[in-house]
Amino acid sequence: MKLKLHLAIGSVALLASGCAAETHLPDANEDVSSAQSPAVSDIQTMTKRADGRFDVTCTDGATEIRTDQQILANQVCLTGDGTPIYACRDASEIGRRIVAKDGKLFWLCEGSTGSYILAASATPGGTVTTLFDSMGTYRFLRQLHADANSKYLVFQEGEGGVTAFDTTNLAAPPLRYSAGENCTYIAADTRHIYCRTQNSIQRVSVTSPSGTGFTRLISNIGYGNDFALDGPVTNRIVYPAGGSGGWVHTITVSNTTPTSLATSQHYPHDATILGGNAYWLRDEGLTYAPAAGGGSLNFAQQRVGIQSYHPDAQGNIYFRLYNRQANTVSIEKVQTSTTSTRLRRGLVTPGDMTLDDQYLYWIGSYGGAVYRTLKE
């Protein structure tokens, strides 16, 4: 049976990317079997909105909001991970982390005898190099993080020291510091590397000699797995802690007396500071409040199943959503408290995500294949 696209527009002439001939979105009731529009086999209906975009219903019943450029670029009703642009060395290995930084991609792969970090241009087809390799040593790398405000890519070697690479000069020798304790999370600004242990936040200067230990900023903070820094020279730190009755606190480097941002949070985690607000996940959804305290608590998305998220400087939030009933995973985009736009559905074992100015990237948990999709 042939599908028809019901559009509230006339013919739209657009120059297709890479094509000399003009293509267009079909007119209302045009037979899509003869249309030049891409991806029509997955579209049931499209209706033009007042803002110029389109409400799209896919053949599986899912709904999306798309621009005409996205439709013509085949960024509509996308199912599955797509074609990988990079991967781990062996399909039997696990993709743990991925970071986009300074036009490059870095991804952490884990095998049976250790781990390694690969690096390549964010443009597909680049040469893949090994940045760090612990295979055969049974030292498994933990964490892999690069803050937008810092040039340092940081990770921990097993339960030993913390290592930092300058992403603007990968040929430079890495910085190595003695953590003393296992870091559940590591981050860096332009001056310091920060480590969260089971009950403290510590830091070390990037100008310190190799082997220097970390200095405690605050202790007795409660159990948690992460924290957030507020800029290239950290002033404020936000950290979640606790379980079913968890809390979120904020401190400054000059005043480490905690200020409460929220209490009675159900397993708070994955904190971020952006635009003066602190964001974190809890079981009920993605929450935010003024990072300095003293403001109201709000939901950016009150949805169960958000597994991870990444905000950008334009106010967009990209998140991975698990639908327990359907046993499916999708990637969606939203601005605070609005209806989300689904970018891709039907993902297979998606792992960590990252983004740059144009693309969202993710790594497959099994096999370590690296994929991307346009942010818009």
pLDDT at position 6: 38
Instruction: In whole angstroms, give the CA distance from residue 149 to residue 234.
Output: 10
Chunk the chain into consecutive blocks of 10 residues (it has 376) and report each block's average pLDDT, rounded to whole numbers.
Answer: 35 32 42 40 84 84 78 76 91 95 95 96 96 94 89 86 93 89 90 92 93 93 93 94 93 95 94 93 92 90 88 87 81 78 79 91 91 86
pLDDT at position 9: 35
pLDDT at position 41: 54
Q: Which residue's structure tokens are 């599986």?
A: 60
pLDDT at position 31: 38
Instruction: In whole angstroms, give the CA distance from residue 244 to residue 24.
Output: 53
**Torsion angle of the four alpha carbons 304, 309, 314, 315, in this order, in degrees rounded to the nearest 10:** 30
Q: DSSP letter at 327?
A: T
Q: Which residue's structure tokens are 């690479």?
A: 165
* Sign for the pseudo-dihedral over CA of 198, 353, 315, 304: negative
pLDDT at position 226: 94
